[in-house]
Structures are given as C-alpha cells and as structure tokens.
Chain A
C-alpha cells in the first residue's frame, strides 16, 4: 500500500508530501547554517564575488574582543539571577494556584498574561514604569532606591532587565509546575498526611523529588530564553547606559549589522550557540540522573 515500486512513484509521493516543507527547511535553515560556517573561516561579506580563506582568524578576533567577554559576563549574571528568581517565583505561584480555592483558572490566566505580549511591547511598558512611575514613587515618598531611574544607572539597569525577564517568564514556568503538581498522585500525599507529615515535609520529601522532570524542562527553557533575549533588551535599555546592559544577543547583532563585522560576528554567534548548547546538555543530563520513580 505504501510501497511504491517505481522510482517515479516514489518521486510522486515525495513531491506531494515532502518537497515543499523540505525545500523550505533546506533554504531557510540548512543553507544559512552552511554559509555561516563558511563565513567564520573567510572574509566573505556577501557582496564581493571573491573571498579568501582566513582559517581561525575570525574566531581569534572574536575571543580577543574585550567587549565580547564583558557582554558574555553580563549575560551570565543575567541568566543565573533570572534562572533562580523566575523558577522560585514560578514554583510559588504554582503552589498558590493549586491550593484548591475557587477561581484558580482565573489566576493562572492572569499570571500567564505577560507571556502573550511580545518582548518589544513589554520592554516599552516597563520603560515607562521605570522612568516615570517608580521615579515618581521615589520623589513622592522619599524612597532613595527609586530616586532616579534605574535605566540611567549602570549598576541598576541590569536589574531592571532582570525584573522584566522574571515578570515575563514566571507565568509560563508556573504552567509547567502546575502540570507537574497535578500529576502527583493524591494518594501519596494523603498517606503522608495520615502518617503525620507536615505540609512542608510533604513538599520537600514528596512533591519536589517527584517534580524533577518539571524542573528539568523549566530550567532548560528559562536558560535558553534568557541567553537569547533580544527584544526586551532592545526596547527597554538598547544596551545603555554605556553598554552596561548589552546582552550577548544584542552584542552579536550590533557587531554584525551595526559595525559590519560579518565574519567575527558570525564567529561570536557560533561561540554563543556552543556555550548555550553545552550548558543546556550538562543541565539536562545532570537532572535526568536526579529523577526518581514514584
């Protein structure tokens, strides 16, 4: 039935079901990926027909650029703090919206709302909050913390980005934890309750160990999202003040399209890709080991 005998018959099936999506896959992903590899080893800039082989010069340029490492270091700080705060908040939210009162779905929907809105718009919303509302709070109630806009202060601007990142993603991760919490069999906690285990004891000895798969997914997603963040960074701070919030995705963008350093920019993009892939693989494999059977 599904065994075309002739070559022509196979070609026809391929033409009907597979050709268009695979053509799009090859032209949009595979080809740019291969060209990307080529670009890191040459000085090809796309327009000139000739290009020369450079070996690892672009990679060497990339890692010798101090701005690259400054940005990478900033990004690591952003990622670690974001990872912790987002997931702690998400887990607390998940516990709260599964605690059994009426209208839980309404709250779940509310906490998820920021995630529906695009990063560019979220950045502008918070730009207004940081530069107008909080400064107003600061001057009206004499709160030194908000006396001037966080966005203009190199020490605080990164924290502004973190606040927005946590606010944006906590609701999403909450949904993953809710799915994990609901998946825990009620008989387990009931039995523990009859044995006299407190709510806290049940949380740490039963729920959290059984929810390792949820933590694996949620940490993986937060990691990826925060390493690659670009829109909110652009609309909230543009990397200012003094490039103190230029996260790595924005740095790569600027290197390639503003400074027109295509080869080194692409080398940086691949280094970023490698770092994220290695961290993600390590994280997931470490957590797979920690999983337990119910």
Chain B
C-alpha cells in the first residue's frame, strides 16, 4: 500500500512538471504581451520593467478585433446551427423513410468523409471564384454546411435509429405534422449527440483558416484566425503588440473552454472514438 502512494505522489509531481512545460509557451506570450519591444529583446523571461497595457489597445485596434470576433461568432454560430438542424433532419429522413436510394445516399456521405479539403480546394476556388461567390461570409457559412454535414449526418444516423418510433406514431395519429414530430419529439431526444457535434463543429469552424482564407476577400469580413494572420504579416517587429494580439485571439476560446470544459472533453472523446 505504501509503495502505491509513493507512486501516486511521483506521478503527481511528474504531472505538474509536464503541465508547466506544456503551458509555458502560452504563459510566455502572456508575460511578454505587457512589455516594450526593447524589454522583450533584453530578456523575454523577466517580468516587464513597465506594464504596457497600451499594447492591448493598439493590438485591438490594428487587428480590428471587434470585427474579427463578430465575424467569427456569426460564421461559427450560424454554421454550427445549420449543420446541426439539417444533418439531423436528413438523418431522420434516411432512417424513417425506407427508400432504396437512402442506402446509397448514406454510402456516398460516408465515402466523402475520406476526401481531404486539399483535394477539393483547387476546383472549389476555380468554380466559386468564377461564380463570384468567394467574397462573403454568408457563402462561407453555406460552405461549412456542405463540408460538415456528412460527418454529422452519419453520426445522427446511428442515434435516430434508437429513437422509439411509437412516440412519433402516437403524435402523428394525434394529428401532428411531420415537421412538428421531428422538431417537437425527435430533435429534442437527440440532444446529447447534438451537443457533441456542436462542440466538435464549433472548434473546427472557429479555428479554421484555409477555407476562410480562400473564401473571404474583403478585409471587413475576416474571421479571427484570418485577421491574426494578416496582422502578423505587417506587425512582426513590434513583439509586445504582436503578443497582445495573440493573447486577444486566444481569449475567446479559453473562455468557451472554462464554461464548457466537461462537455468539450466528453464531446471530443465521443467524436473521436465513434
């Protein structure tokens, strides 16, 4: 029993050391975000000579932080909402109406999941560029529906099968329409899997860079990763402001993490293991 508790404390100490190493890069960014450029060059490990809060206001202004966050929020929330509602409804149709074509549709969706974005991006840009659809965040939201719906539909498909049919039939006999049955009975029952999918899709869309970089041309449409990227293109020499910009870009997702830690970790595991 004694050796076991020694083992436990050793594991604990080792854990602390590793965790410190793990978050060290992020802590250094935070520390240096308060410093002047010369201060950083002299010693990036020391506390600031003078705490420069102005780095934050400058970064906030130069990277159009409020626009970027608003764009990211719009794209993420609407994208996730569309994927959730439409994937669930498609899965419902595929499970409940036993049309012959449904099996082929599901197979096509599953097959499409192995295509990486890199194999689609060139024709994608060629096609939508020619149609002049590559310059709005509303188009981007639609693209996220297209790219995200196959995985979501596939996962919903397994869960819709377990929804007791009798509940729906009773409601249909009582005169509820199909939309009412789906919206009022089926969709609420699917809530656990909806939460998992929403979390996976929030993390994906919020952090995505390549698709917005191809689909958004106007600077005022830029999402947070995009505006961080363009900001760094012109601002690398002023480290203090650059570090403040990084901290600003990281804050929203950390806030989200603090609020939903358990759901995020469970959701990621469930999504990966399924």
Contact = CB atoms under 8 A, between A and B. Distances in A.
B272 A217 contact: yes
A119 interface: yes
Given A25-B109, A133-B45, A136-B45, A32 B19 contact: no
B115 A33 contact: yes
Contact of A228 (B22, B116, B208, B257): B116
Given A35-B126, A128-B239, A175-B265, A28 B147 contact: yes
Nearest to A249: B118
Nearest to B169: A1
A21 interface: yes
B26 A113 contact: yes
Contact of B12 (A101, A109, A277): A101
Contacts of B98: 2
Chain B interface residue count: which class?
35 or more
A126 B25 contact: yes
What 6 pairs across the A-B complex have the smallest Cβ distances? A28-B146, A118-B207, A46-B126, A17-B93, A35-B123, A24-B146
Contacts of A115: 203, 268
A114 B242 CA distance: 19
Given A110-B23, A175-B268, A118 B208 contact: yes
A99 B7 contact: yes
B150 A32 contact: no
B47 interface: no
Contact of A133 (B28, B120, B269): B28
Contacts of B162: none
Interface of A: 1-4, 10, 13-14, 16-18, 20-22, 24-25, 27-33, 35-36, 38-39, 45-47, 93, 96-97, 99-101, 105, 107-121, 124-126, 128-129, 132-133, 136, 167, 171-172, 175-176, 178-179, 199, 217, 221, 224, 228, 230-231, 234-235, 249, 252-253, 256-257, 262, 265-266, 269-270, 272-273, 276-277, 280
Nearest to A92: B18
Contact of A128 (B22, B29, B108, B249): B29
A111 B203 CA distance: 16
Chain A: interface secondary structure?
helix
B7 A257 contact: no
Contacts of B207: 116-119
A114 B25 CA distance: 10
Contact of B149 (A25, A262, A272): A25
A107 B14 CA distance: 11
B36 interface: no
Nearest to B207: A118
Nearest to A276: B116
A35 B272 contact: no
Nearest to B113: A29
A248 B60 CA distance: 34
24 contacts: A17-B92, A20-B86, A21-B90, A21-B149, A25-B146, A25-B150, A28-B142, A29-B146, A29-B147, A32-B127, A33-B112, A101-B8, A113-B22, A118-B224, A118-B253, A121-B225, A126-B25, A129-B25, A136-B44, A167-B25, A176-B273, A228-B117, A235-B229, A262-B122
A29 B105 CA distance: 14
Interface string B151-174: 001000000000000001100100
A176 B272 CA distance: 7
Counting chain A CB atoms within 10 Å of each CB, the highest count among B122, B126, B149, B253 belongs to B122
Contact of B228 (A121, A230, A272): A121
Contact of A24 (B116, B149, B273): B149
